[in-house]
């Protein structure tokens, strides 16, 4: 399908339901790239609304192209290989004339870039013409097979004619001989053409590999825009240099073939070979045929041995797979029976180990939180104890000191009878009353402080006892856990060693199987080659 037909089909599809865009070929051709991207977004939104119903005006170009590429891959669109290949080389870089006028170096590089593009177009068109004129590889293969069959049929016909008519019919024999010579000449010509096609195939294979490497280099350049046009020009120069080297190689090959043709003509124009040389060549050919038969027999025996080894390995693999499948079925049946009997699902070793590890982590976390809480309570109790030790039992050390000083002063005054004789009677009674009230109030506050502090001290003692108990339990459980862990690690290590040994054995068997397969393929190729050589030699001998 040409590009015009493809555009026509696209426009017809857009004009139909459910799009109904009412566009034309001219309008579609005049659409800007942004408009074409919007049309593509509408089509993809109809195909998959959940994924592609997005406003491309507010979407970044990277996400848009990634989404479109994913949709195209899912829809199975077959992209044009030629278009993708040529787009890397024929991309048109637009540079304003102002920049070209200001920078002469940039103008020279731009003109050189355009010239290299033109050379690439010419080389690509010549390559396509050569491919179309020489025909495809499949056609060459069919032609070679047809020629081989024709040569075989000619040889068989020649033998049949000899046995049917004998040596008496000289005329028929000579005609058959002429036909045989013509067939041999045609076979030689076709063999030469086959060799040419093979050489051309090898040449195209090398060209394909070189083109792939160039494509990878250009893709790397396109992914790194900072390297600019200079790196791209360097790649194109390398491509031109490689093309020139290929042309020189073709010229050298042509000269060699011309020299070979001159040698063949010189040999053909010389005297005919002697009978003794022909007898020697016939003996050498017979010895080569015997050697080929011996090699073929040895190859057949080796191939048979390799095939038997391969079959034995395949049987072993099938038996192992069947045993594994049977064990899996038995395990599934046992799990179902256990589930039906107990009412809950049976846990495998891996699941149980994961569950036990999770429980151990939760237990450790719970114990750690409890220990932190106990340490916090202990710290608070120690702070209260330090506070009580600093400020006294009830926290009124200043008043107690004042009371003691007043008591000492009162005792001194009473003992020396200094205060009361000089004070009036009412004043002395008032002082004594105030002292009595102050003493009562201080004793009352002291009793209240003791009552408030008693529960805190009791709670502190209980927390200390709980901390000691928790620490003892923690040490005991930690010792038990370490013992259980050591006991469980022993069978686990043995199981790991067994699994590693089994895995190594499995990898060894797989490697042996791959090696056997490669040996079988090599033997098959050798056998095919021997058969072809035998067939060619039989044709030459006929």
Looking at the predicted structure, is the pLDDT value of residue 364 above 50?
Answer: yes
Q: Using pLDDT thresholds of 50, 70 and 90, give the confidence band for residue 174.
A: low
Looking at the predicted structure, is the pLDDT value of residue 16 above 80?
Answer: yes
More confident: 266 or 248: 248
- Quick one: tokens of 24? 């034309």
What percent of the chain is predicted at pLDDT more than 90? 0
- pLDDT score for 162: 47
- pLDDT score for 399: 61
Looking at the predicted structure, is the pLDDT value of residue 506 above 60?
Answer: yes
Within-domain flag for 194: no
- Quick one: tokens of 533? 């050589």
Q: What are phi and psi of 58, to 5 degrees?
A: -100, 5
Quote the CA–CA distance of 456 and 381 in Å, as a whole number: 8
Quote the CA–CA distance of 524 and 519 in Å, as a whole number: 8
Phi-psi domain of 270 (left: phi exceeds 0; alpha: psi -120 through 50; beta: other): beta
Instruction: Report the number of distinct structural domains present in the chain.
Output: 1
- Residue 157's CB: how many other CB atoms inside 10 A? 14
- pLDDT score for 138: 58
- Residue 393's CB: how many other CB atoms inside 10 A? 13
Looking at the predicted structure, is the pLDDT value of residue 167 above 50?
Answer: no
Q: Give per-residue pLDDT as tens, 447-499.
A: 787 787 778 878 888 888 888 888 888 888 888 888 888 887 887 788 888 88
The whole-chain average pLDDT of the chain stands at 75
C-alpha distances (whole Å) from 181 to each of 130, 186, 190, 521 are: 32, 8, 14, 38
C-alpha distances (whole Å) from 343 to each of 142, 154, 331, 332, 347 are: 69, 82, 17, 15, 13
Q: Give per-residue pLDDT as tens, 206-226.
A: 877 877 777 776 666 665 555
Within-domain flag for 447: yes
Within-domain flag for 116: no
Within-domain flag for 474: yes
**Rounded to 5 degrees, what angle do the CA atoms 151, 155, 159 make?**
170
- pLDDT score for 391: 61
Quote the CA–CA distance of 381 and 387 in Å, as a whole number: 10
Within-domain flag for 81: no
Q: Using pLDDT thresholds of 50, 70 and 90, give the confidence band for residue 87.
A: confident
Looking at the predicted structure, is the pLDDT value of residue 350 above 60?
Answer: yes
Yes or no: say if 120 and 239 are a contact pair by the CB < 8 Å rule: yes
Interval 161-180 mean pLDDT:
58
For the chain, what is the total number of helices (H) and then of strands (E)? 16, 0
Within-domain flag for 212: no
Within-domain flag for 473: yes
Owning domain of residue 397:
349-541
Measured in residues, the chain has a length of 542
- pLDDT score for 307: 80
Looking at the predicted structure, is the pLDDT value of residue 443 above 60?
Answer: yes
**Rounded to 5 degrees, what angle do the CA atoms 431, 433, 439 make?**
105
Quote the CA–CA distance of 157 and 159 in Å, as a whole number: 5
Residue 180, burial from CB neighbour count under 10 angstroms (0-12, 13-18, 19+): middle
- Among 147, 180, 146, 148, smallest CA distance to 161 is for 180
- Residue-by-residue DSSP string for 6-35: HHHHHHHHHHSTTT-----HHHHHT--HHH
- Quick one: tokens of 209? 């590999």
Within-domain flag for 59: no
Looking at the predicted structure, is the pLDDT value of residue 378 above 60?
Answer: yes
Quote the CA–CA distance of 54 and 61 in Å, as a whole number: 12
Interval 369-390 mean pLDDT:
80
- pLDDT score for 367: 86
């Amino acid at each position: 399908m040409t590009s015009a037909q493809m555009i026509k089909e696209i426009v017809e599809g857009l004009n139909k339901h459910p799009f109904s865009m009412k566009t034309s070929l001219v309008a579609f051709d005049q659409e800007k790239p942004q408009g074409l991207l919007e049309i593509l977004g509408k089509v993809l939104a109809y195909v998959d609304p959940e994924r592609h119903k997005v406003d491309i005006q507010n979407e970044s170009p990277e996400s848009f192209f990634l989404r479109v590429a994913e949709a195209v891959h899912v829809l199975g669109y077959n992209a044009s290989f030629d278009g993708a290949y040529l787009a890397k080389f024929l991309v048109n870089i637009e540079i304003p004339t102002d920049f070209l006028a200001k920078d002469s170096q940039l103008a020279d590089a731009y003109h050189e870039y355009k010239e290299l593009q033109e050379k690439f177009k010419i080389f690509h068109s010549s390559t396509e013409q050569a491919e179309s004129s020489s025909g495809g590889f499949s056609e060459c293969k069919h032609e070679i097979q047809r020629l081989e069959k024709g040569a075989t049929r000619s040889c068989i016909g020649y033998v049949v004619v000899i046995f049917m008519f004998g040596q008496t019919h000289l005329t028929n024999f000579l005609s058959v001989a002429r036909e045989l010579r013509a067939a041999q000449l045609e076979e030689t010509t076709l063999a030469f053409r086959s060799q040419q096609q093979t050489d051309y195939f090898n040449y195209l294979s090398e060209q394909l590999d070189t083109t792939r490497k160039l494509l990878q280099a250009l893709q790397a350049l396109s992914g790194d825009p900072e390297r600019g046009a200079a790196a791209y020009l360097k790649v194109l120069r390398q491509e031109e240099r490689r093309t020139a080297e290929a042309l020189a190689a073709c010229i050298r090959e042509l000269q060699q073939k011309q020299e070979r043709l001159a040698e063949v003509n010189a040999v053909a124009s010389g005297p005919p070979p002697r009978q003794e040389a022909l007898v020697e060549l016939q003996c050498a050919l017979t010895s080569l045929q015997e050697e080929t038969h011996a090699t073929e027999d040895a190859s057949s025996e080796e191939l048979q041995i390799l095939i038997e080894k391969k079959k034995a390995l395949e049987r072993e693999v099938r038996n192992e797979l069947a045993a594994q499948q049977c064990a899996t079925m038995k395990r599934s049946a046992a799990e179902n029976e256990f589930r039906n009997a107990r009412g809950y699902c049976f846990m495998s070793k891996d699941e149980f180990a994961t569950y036990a590890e999770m429980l151990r982590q939760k237990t450790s976390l719970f114990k750690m939180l409890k220990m932190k809480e106990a340490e916090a309570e202990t710290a608070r109790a120690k702070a209260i104890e330090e506070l009580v030790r600093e400020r006294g039992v009830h926290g009124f050390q200043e008043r107690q000191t004042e009371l003691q000083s007043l008591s000492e002063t009162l005792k001194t005054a009473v003992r020396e009878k200094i205060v009361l004789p000089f004070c009036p009677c009412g004043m002395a009674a008032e002082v004594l009353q105030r002292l009595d009230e102050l003493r009562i109030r201080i004793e009352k506050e002291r009793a209240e402080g003791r009552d408030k502090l008693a529960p805190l001290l009791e709670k502190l003692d209980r927390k200390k006892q709980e901390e000691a108990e928790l620490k003892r339990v923690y040490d005991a459980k930690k010792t038990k856990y370490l013992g259980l862990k050591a006991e469980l690690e022993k069978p686990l290590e043995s199981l790991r060693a067994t699994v590693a040994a089994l895995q190594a054995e499995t990898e060894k068997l797989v490697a042996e199987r791959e090696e056997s397969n490669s040996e079988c393929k090599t033997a098959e190729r050798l056998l095919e080659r021997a058969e072809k050589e035998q067939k060619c030699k039989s044709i030459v001998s006929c």
